[in-house]
Amino acid sequence: MKPFYIDYPQEKVEEHRHVYRCVYCKILTTTINGLLENHSKDCLYRKQQTQQDRLECDSKSSSKHFEPHSADEVD
């Protein structure tokens, strides 16, 4: 998992000068504040990132396996 999610597509809010929001869920970037859980639950970006995070976590956990240390072996 990333500490902050700031790579989501954004669009400018027309009525304001420097205000942006997520293209998918329309929540303001200042409300999202880089946190995935601050996007709406049905936001496409949030769903994609959650799935990607799960896949990365699964691949990391499957690559770790127990290897006994040979230094503790008794002859």
Cβ atoms of residues 32 and 38 within 8 Å: yes
Domain that holds residue 16: 1-52
User: Is residue 59, in this structure, part of any structural domain at all?
Assistant: no
Q: Are 34 and 8 in contact (CB under 8 A)?
A: no
Q: Is residue 65 part of a domain?
A: no
pLDDT of residue 70 exceeding 70: no
Is the entire prediction scored with pTM above 0.85? no
| Residue 62 domain-assigned (yes or no) | no
Q: In whole angstroms, what is the distance from residue 58 CA to residue 1 CA?
A: 12
The answer to the question of residue 57 being in a domain is no
Query: Model confidence over 12-53: pLDDT tens digits?
Result: 999 999 999 999 999 999 999 999 999 999 999 999 999 999
User: What is the number of structural domains in the chain?
Assistant: 1
Under 8 Å between Cβ of 13 and 20: yes
Quote the CA–CA distance of 31 and 20 in Å, as a whole number: 10
What does the pLDDT read at residue 37? Answer: 97
